[in-house]
Amino acid sequence: MLPKDGKVSTGIKEGQVGLYVRTVIKAGDHRAEAVIRGLHDHIESLSVDGKPRKDHPLLAGLGSEDSTEKDIKQWLTSLSVGEIVDLLDGLDSDDIAYIQRGIDLNMELVKYGLSHGPGLGVGKTQQSLLRQGLLKNDMVLAGGIFASAGIDSRMGGAMLPAMTLAGSGNQGIAASTPIVAATGFATLEDNLLLVKSVALSYLLTCYIKALAARIGPLCGSGVAGGAGVAAGVTYLLGGTVEKIGGAINNHIENFATIICEEPRPVAPSRSARPPRQG
């Protein structure tokens, strides 16, 4: 919503393809301008009073992919689902602590969302309908409530950090909190199983994102994060590699072609090996 005093205005640049954001700020006789193009963190240009700031630190190394990141993407997308699942047994203490830290951060956002109903208040509303007996309490609903409440908090401006995934805070929330919700419907031997399940969700989400767009509001949290959750919950409940692959397929086939802004065939096949993108 724009202020009524007219000091802020917005517009759409016609004919522009892909991500493009041009921001101009005026103060007195001064004018500052920034342009983002292509990727969300690719600041293409900065200028003050019409003079380019080519040496500004925000222009250094952002919006580009270094060789290490490219190598990781190539390595990850070369793996089958079975090989990705095998990685979970190699998590060391630092990996486990890092993933647990992300779970804790995102669950704080969930708790805030359920308590205060910030943003659209979707999570809190669903919780209210559940209490009234208008919704049936099951694993799917619980996962949706947690994810919605966490994203409500983040998008509603709660002063709490989120653990991002593949460059997106909402994606990190969507790929982790539903698995935490699923633990309320399962008996766990120890917390390590939850950590491994979330790690699997992260890996599969990143796999899909490596083959699709860098950032996408629906492809990221809904399609990629949802596929990750499908894999993570199946693993949590003791599913085999074949069942994990089937869960991913079920999600992609029922979801991506409906609302994904860049639908691509990235789901693992029935043989549990992700297809290569041509």
Instruction: Break the chain down into helix, strand, coil percent, rounded to 5.
Output: 55, 10, 35
Is 274 among the domain residues? no
Which regions in the chain score pLDDT beneath 50?
63, 262-278
In this predicted structure, what is the pLDDT of residue 267? 42
Residues 204 and 148 in one domain: yes
Look up residue 139 and give its two tokens. 């694993």
Domain endpoint, select from 64, 83, 98: 64
Residues 174 and 155 in one domain: yes
The single residue listed with the structure tokens 């790690």 is 199
Residues 249 and 119 in one domain: yes
Query: Does residue 170 contact residue 216 with C-beta atoms inside 8 Å?
Result: no
In this predicted structure, what is the pLDDT of residue 209? 86
Residues 52 and 85 in one domain: no
How much is the CA Rg of the chain, to the nearest whole Å?
Answer: 21
Backbone φ and ψ for 36, nearest 5 degrees, come out as -110, 130
In this predicted structure, what is the pLDDT of residue 263? 40
Is 273 among the domain residues? no
Domain endpoint, select from 18, 34, 64: 64
Residues 147 and 42 in one domain: no
Residues 86 and 156 in one domain: yes
Residues 44 and 105 in one domain: no
Is 265 among the domain residues? no
Is 94 among the domain residues? yes
Domain endpoint, select from 64, 90, 115: 64
Nearest of 140, 150, 151, 111 to residue 233 by alpha carbon: 140
Q: Establish how many alpha carbons lie within 13 A of residue 17's alpha carbon, considering only the half-sphere containing its beta carbon.
A: 0
Instruction: Give dist(CA 169, CA 175) in Å, integer.
Output: 10
How confident is the model over 114-124, as pLDDT tens digits?
A: 999 999 999 99
In this predicted structure, what is the pLDDT of residue 260? 54
Domain region containing 90: 67-259
Residues 208 and 130 in one domain: yes
Number of domains in the chain: 2
Residues 143 and 203 in one domain: yes
Residues 233 and 110 in one domain: yes
How confident is the model over 25-38, as pLDDT tens digits?
A: 999 999 999 999 88
Residues 55 and 86 in one domain: no
Is 222 among the domain residues? yes
